[in-house]
A and B are shown apart, each in its own frame.
Chain A
Amino acid sequence: MPLGGRSSSLSEIDDAIACVVDGTTVGIGGAVTAGHPMALVRALARRGVRDLTVVAPTGGIEVDLLIAAGCVSRIVGSYVGIEAIAGVGPVYRSAIESGRVEVVDLDEAHCVAGLRAAGQGLPFLPWRGGVGTAFPQLNPTLIEFDDPVRGEPLLAIPAIELDVALIYAEVSDCYGNAQPVGTGHMDALLGSAAKQVVIQVDRVVSTEEIRRNPEKTIYWPGSKVVKAPFGTHPYSNGWMTSDEQHLVDFVAAAKGGDETLSEYLRVHVLEPEDNDAYLETVGIRRISSLLI
């Protein structure tokens, strides 16, 4: 028998996201102001792919950035906003109101059920929340039915099948054994619903380090691991808070009109050639002030 030799999952950022092409359905991890794989999102926006369906279960400015860069035709999810800083994602709102982007509304729990159905290879999973609401009217893929066991009205939540999942984890080894910090949001569900997973990490560690906490490991065959330290900025990871001022500035730029939004994109997304260059636009003092 030939000797073994394990393949590396490590990838450069642009190689890793090459699997996202025009028309791809891409799920993006994180929740509200935490744990979004922003370095991957910025690289995607920079590349200028078109016509994406973006599945963002509880989204933030990763959705706004991709819409602003012209990459998106459809958004699937339960929320896009920045809490008190912007009750609604500003670019998301204007793109939907102008009809440039279509929205497919789901409840947060529908996102869980739909992603789980995809991972389980099922056409749908049932759910009760949403019965008696506008959900089936707004999103006709949600089908009301009477359950065959107890005869109660339920909704069929169709499988959310993803071409690609982009998620963040704090660490991974070079074989794709990734370990999220904390709860990992819906990221593991996104990974299991996707044909291809790309994982942004702060650090690449040895497999020995991974073995110390094997219960934390998430893994999918063939996943790509991209090192991008502090790459969730302006959102939090496990040891860095969200950058409230940066988010305030982004919202001001987005609400200021095409010119100020284009300027934000130019400075923070389009011109920095990689994650390090992006971090230079933020500045070491700002980054340092966010560490907890």
Chain B
Amino acid sequence: MEKPSINELFAVLLARDFHAEDRTIMVGANMPMARAAAVMANVTTHPDARISIGLGVQGLGDGGDPPAVHPFLFDPRTMAAEALMFQGRVFDDMHSPDVFFVGGLQVDQRGNLNLFGIPDGEGGWKMRGPGSIALATMSAYCAGYYIVMPSHSTRTFVERVALISALGDATERARLKLPGGGIRMLLSPLGVFDFNDAGDMRLRSLHQGVTLEEVQEATGFELDVPDQVPVTPGPTDEEMQLLRERVDVYGTLA
């Protein structure tokens, strides 16, 4: 079998990490790896979950046909679903979303995420991102969220983000009484990360072939590195078969 792409690896790692009690998994725009993860979990470990993908809400635990991972989230084919995701009503149900996924231009040592861009310090923009979509809201409320960073360098992993789109800092979240559970896990092309008891980013595992020095050089702050850092367990043949043959049939993650 061909080597997994980074997005395929992300999909498998996310699908493995969902908690047993997760019932509602919601996926935002430009996160096809999260769409695949939600479907994978729904057809295997999480038959009772409801997954919100694009315009549709699915429950695939009875063997229903998984929706393909289309290049665009809001594809009309996602309306072949058991319920629809109404953008004007989805925020009326803030007790319900358990899991959400976010990406960003920058992440910092405390887990804060920036999708706004980099201001120029004079009221304008040095680099403008797309806007924060629903990051602030979903990260405030959902039981837990995953950060998926498409690149890992000293430009994207910084000591302090220029602007906070999603507040990850556990201390600040508690002070502001945010109801959600905060960050569960962070994935980058180099490794898997979480946050220690003090709320600082910690290395959990290194992807196959990545060295500790590489990660430290690509990170703009001092990572918490435990004594033993395992290699990220790669996808099994079974997981890859499920992903490629039933879930990502168009090869969007390839």
Contact = CB atoms under 8 A, between A and B. Distances in A.
Nearest to B84: A183
B126 interface: yes
A238 B124 CA distance: 39
Of B76, B135, B167, B172, most buried by chain A (CB within 10 Å of CB) is B76
Nearest to A237: B76
A79 B130 contact: yes
Interface in B158-197: 163-167, 172-173, 176-179
A88 B129 contact: yes
A89 interface: yes
Contacts of A79: 29, 130-133
A127 B137 contact: yes
A99 interface: yes
B178 A80 contact: no
Contacts of A292: 76-77
B243 interface: no
Interface stretch (B86-94, B201-209, B212-220): B86-94
Interface string B33-67: 00000000000000000000001000000000000
A242 interface: yes
Given A79-B29, A96-B125, A129 B134 contact: yes
Nearest to B115: A79
B180 to A, nearest CB: 10
A135 B72 contact: no
A132 B75 contact: no
Interface string A38-69: 00000000000000000001100000000000
Contacts of A89: 130
A138 B116 contact: yes
Nearest to A58: B133
B177 A87 contact: no
B73 A32 contact: yes
Interface string A107-138: 11110110000000000000111111111011
Given A32-B73, A32-B74, A129-B141, A185 B132 contact: no
B223 interface: no
A98 to B, nearest CB: 9
B150 to A, nearest CB: 9
A153 interface: yes
Contact of B178 (A93, A113, A128): A128
A108 B76 contact: no
A33 B124 CA distance: 28
Contacts of B166: 133
B111 interface: no
Contact of A128 (B133, B141, B163, B172): B141
B71 interface: yes
A289 to B, nearest CB: 14
Interface string A76-98: 01111101100111001100110
A84 B30 contact: yes
B74 A33 contact: yes
Nearest 8 pairs of A and B residues by beta carbon: A129-B137, A34-B74, A134-B163, A108-B134, A81-B130, A109-B137, A132-B167, A79-B131
30 contacts: A78-B131, A79-B130, A83-B29, A83-B73, A84-B30, A84-B32, A88-B128, A103-B128, A107-B132, A108-B137, A109-B91, A112-B87, A112-B91, A128-B178, A130-B136, A130-B137, A131-B167, A131-B176, A132-B167, A133-B132, A133-B165, A133-B167, A135-B136, A153-B176, A183-B55, A184-B88, A186-B88, A236-B74, A242-B72, A244-B71
